[in-house]
Amino acid sequence: MNPMPLVALVGNPNAGKSALFNALTGARQKVGNYPGVTVERKSGRIALPDGRPVELVDLPGTYSLDPSSPDEAVTRDVVLGTQTGERLPSALIVVVDATNLDNHLRFTLQLIALGMPVVVALNMIDMAERDGLRIDVERLSRELGVPVVPTVAVRRKGIDTLVAELSARIGAVMVLRAGHAPETDFTVLQRQARAIAAAATIEEHGARRFTHAIDRVALHPIVGPVLLAGLMFVMFQAVFAWSEAPIGWIESLILAFQNFVTASLPEGFVRGLIVEGVIGGVGAVVVFLPQILFLFLFILLLEASGYMVRAAFLMDRLMARVGLSGRAFIPLLSSFACAVPGIMATRTIDDPRDRLTTILIAPLMTCSARLPVYAVIIGAFIPAREVGPGIGLQGLVLFGLYVGGIFGAMAAALLLRRTVTKGASHGFMMEMPQYQLPLWRDVVLGLWQRALIFLKRAGTIILATTVVLWLLLTFPKPPENATAPAIDYSIAGQVANGLTPVVRPIGFNRDIALALIPAMAAREVAVSALGTVYAIQGDVEAEGQRSLIQRLQGRWSLPTALAFLVWFVFAPQCISTIAVVRRETNGWKWPGFMVGYLFVLAYVAAGLTFWLATALGL
Amino acid sequence: MSSGVPNGMSLNQLPLRQRARIVSVDWDGLAQHEARRLRELGFDEGVAIELLHHGPMGRDPIACRVGRMTVALRRAHAAAIMVEPDTRQ
């Protein structure tokens, strides 16, 4: 059987490729990975007008077929048909930004020269008109020798025409230009591109007034940084404030579910496992879905609007001080959502040493998985009062934890850049795209994909670890005449007892030692682990309905709670992160190094916090 | 070569919002990958250029319009780009 034809979507960065991909495929997308490399493979199905299905694959944006990063190498290998695990595309859709023909046509010329069927999507044609640019589409098509379809991907304009043109090209017999070596001289191609752009441009006046007007404020030497700091602050306050109500709904849903199961099952092992282990453990993590989604919402909006690159611009000099570039700011900011996509985003950094340093410090950015831990501890120990108009103390402490992570990361980068990743830096060169109003459809799609990934984690790794922990905490059962708490007899209790002397100096008790073990799999498990520990330990009659927060308040001192928070700022407690670092650095050397240095950092920082807080009499 | 150009100056010395044209780029003075990236971003002899912004600290990096694109780069690299202010505006 013939697999359905493959069509690749190719283009420069910032050509609006992803928006066009979304417009063409709708929500019918599959996100996977290319074998052997960690480059994301995004594909979807489209139906041609005659009913034939076609698989569309969205390739990483690149400036030329001369790759300078693993992402760009995949784009080259797919269009040349040399990528393992991918068949040769039957046609290419080349996406060009109509406002930036000079530059984008160069890559288009390179692609056309490959000799496979090509349709050019002249995207963002509305923006070009707004900029006072009029383009002769027929002339452009004639100069390039391929069909050109004007599109506005974000408003789904021109999509049908594009698909119709594509349909006419797929299956058509192409004569490969044998013996014709494609022009490779960069300058020659660039000048050809400029000549074609000039020929196809009928009229040109004004330029990007809108973007320039915003940039005058956003990149202003004083207003710009203030605006950036304000945006970050609002983002973290909002994550806490806006998610309060939805968290309440999820909590009552979980409780209702637990009550339902308790009422419908006979008392015993199975009921305990389901109510405390499964629903309790997974529920404790699912509750944080709203906060995680709000954080991703901000990051997606900053990314889609074009502001992220401005933030990189403002931060470059500061990053240069610790031996990095502004480019590292984007992966690091993404790491606030999750270090895994953050570390994968370092592939856009072409300097290998810059990239390695960024990977090693990315886990120090407070990821969303830490939020559940922070939220529980802050909720239990930090009073919810206002310290200023609209500024809550809880939000302020949370902000402080984020800042702590950032300073830790900067100090680590400074040190790494002078020792293990020593060498000259490549600097900072980046295109600044036009500002755009993010499309709700694309943002919602992005959030949906993130929510699915999170829930999948909750349903697999988190479910498995909480169930295993529950079993380890429950067995073996204490003897009949036991005097000590039941937990002391369990396997987990005994392991934790062994670990306790190690963590006691930094203020951690046995329960914390117990929670740290499963939290190696994923940080947020610490919360469900504590929930499970206290559910088993507690007198069910008296404490059954008390929340984890109330239980913690009675058991931990404030210095212990603060030390626990600081531990989570630094500790490398996430298997997925370690795995992705191994993949990205091709070996165990760097993830091993990372885990080692982060544990030392976490231990020392948590210890300092505990001793200081105790000395201050907190 | 740049000394032979009337009003020749490096991109670093160009005043903000002064339209100019690139007269020469010291490609050999740049590392190979830096030169390639600059070319990819549209830097070439004869292209219109305008300095738009500089960074908040030490006026570094800079953002400039190159052709129809806005590009951010550091002053260390901008020093390799010689420009000639446009007197026709």
B79–A contact, CB cutoff 8 A: no
B76–A contact, CB cutoff 8 A: yes
Of B84, B88, B64, the C-alpha closest to B22 is: B84
CB contact under 8 A, B34 and A191: no
Q: Given this model, what pLDDT does residue A54 score?
A: 93
CB contact under 8 A, B37 and A100: no
Q: What spatial distance separates the first Cα and last Cα of chain B, rounded to whole Å?
A: 25
Percentage of residues of chain B with pLDDT beyond 90: 56
> Chain-centre distance of CA A221, in angstroms?
29
Quote the tokens at residue B77: 């690299």
Alpha carbon of A2: minimum distance to chain B alpha carbons (Å): 38
Q: Which residues of A touch B43 (CB under 8 A)?
A: none
* Residue A563 near residue A609, CB atoms below 8 Å: yes
**Which candidate in A196, A353, A431, A436 is best for mutational testing of the B interface (most B CBs within 10 A)?**
A431
Lowest mean pLDDT among A345-349, A503-507, B21-25: A345-349
What are the φ and ψ backbone dihedral angles of B64, each rounded to 5 degrees?
-135, 155
Of A87, A86, A103, the C-alpha closest to A37 is: A86
Q: Which residues of A touch B61 (CB under 8 A)?
A: 313, 316-317, 326, 428
Alpha carbon of B11: minimum distance to chain A alpha carbons (Å): 15
B30–A contact, CB cutoff 8 A: no
Q: Please, what is the angle between helix A589-615 and helix A352-361, to 10°?
A: 40
CB contact under 8 A, B72 and A191: no
Neighbour tally for A213: CB within 10 Å: 11
| Residue in A closest to B54 by C-alpha | A221
Q: Given this model, what pLDDT does residue A146 score?
A: 93
Report the alpha-carbon distance of residue A101 to residue A156 in Å, rounded: 21
B16–A contact, CB cutoff 8 A: no
Question: Which range among A26-35, A175-184, A261-270 has the greatest average pLDDT?
Answer: A261-270
C-alpha distances out from residue A202 to A128, A141, B66, Å:
12, 14, 20
Q: Given this model, what pLDDT does residue A59 score?
A: 93
User: What would the mean pLDDT of A434-460 be, rounded to a whole number?
Assistant: 82
**Which candidate in A432, A434, A436 is best for mutational testing of the B interface (most B CBs within 10 A)?**
A432
Q: Tens of pLDDT along A12-27? A: 988 889 889 999 998 7
| Residue in B closest to A106 by C-alpha | B40
Q: What spatial distance separates the first Cα and last Cα of chain A, rounded to whole Å?
A: 72
Alpha carbon of B15: minimum distance to chain A alpha carbons (Å): 16
CB contact under 8 A, A103 and B68: yes
User: What would the mean pLDDT of A108-127 be, rounded to a whole number?
Assistant: 91
Q: Which residues of B touch A320 (CB under 8 A)?
A: 60, 74
Pairing of strands A91-97, A6-11: parallel
User: What would the mean pLDDT of A587-603 be, rounded to a whole number?
Assistant: 93
CB contact under 8 A, B70 and A350: no
Report chain A's mean pLDDT, rounded to a whole number: 84
Which helix (H) or strand (E) is A108 found in, with range? Answer: helix A101-112
Alpha carbon of B5: minimum distance to chain A alpha carbons (Å): 22
Contacts of A2 (CB under 8 A, 6+ apart): none
More confident residue, A352 or A199: A199
Torsion angle, CA of A165/A167/A173/A179, rounded to 10 degrees? 50
Give the pTM: 0.78
In this model, does residue A180 exceed pLDDT 90? no
Q: Tens of pLDDT along A522-561? A: 787 788 778 777 776 655 444 444 677 888 887 889 999 9
Closest by Cβ to B71, choosing from A212, A225, A430 = A430
Find the radius of gyration of the CA atoms of chain A: 27
**Which candidate in A316, A324, A330, A426 is best for mutational testing of the B interface (most B CBs within 10 A)?**
A316
Closest by Cβ to B60, choosing from A100, A186, A317 = A317
* Residue A91 near residue A7, CB atoms below 8 Å: yes
Closest by Cβ to A63, choosing from B40, B58, B65 = B40
What are the φ and ψ backbone dihedral angles of A204, each rounded to 5 degrees?
-150, 120
Closest by Cβ to B42, choosing from A103, A312, A316 = A103
CB contact under 8 A, B68 and A100: yes
Quote the tokens at residue A172: 């058509």
Q: Which residue do the tokens 């098509």 mark?
A: A141
CB contact under 8 A, B67 and A102: yes
Closest by Cβ to A102, choosing from B42, B53, B70 = B42
Q: Given this model, what pLDDT does residue A177 score?
A: 47
Alpha carbon of B75: minimum distance to chain A alpha carbons (Å): 10
B57–A contact, CB cutoff 8 A: yes
Quote the tokens at residue A120: 């050019």
| Residue in B closest to A131 by C-alpha | B68
Amino acid type, A393: L
In this model, does residue A273 exceed pLDDT 50? yes
Torsion angle, CA of A338/A341/A343/A347, rounded to 10 degrees? -160
CB contact under 8 A, A314 and B68: no
Report the alpha-carbon distance of residue B67 to residue B76 in Å, rounded: 21
Strand runs (DSSP E) across A13-113, as ranges? 29-33, 40-47, 53-58, 91-97
CB contact under 8 A, B74 and A431: no
pLDDT band at residue A207 using 50, 70 and 90 as cut-offs: low
Alpha carbon of A325: minimum distance to chain B alpha carbons (Å): 10
Contacts of A39 (CB under 8 A, 6+ apart): A33, A60, A70, A71, A74, A347
B80–A contact, CB cutoff 8 A: no
Q: Given this model, what pLDDT does residue B8 score?
A: 75
pLDDT band at residue A367 using 50, 70 and 90 as cut-offs: confident
Q: Given this model, what pLDDT does residue B6 score?
A: 55
CB contact under 8 A, B76 and A314: no
User: What would the mean pLDDT of A417-432 be, rounded to a whole number?
Assistant: 84
Q: Given this model, what pLDDT does residue A615 score?
A: 92
Cis link prior to B61 (omega < 30° from 0)?
A: yes
Q: Given this model, what pLDDT does residue A133 score?
A: 86
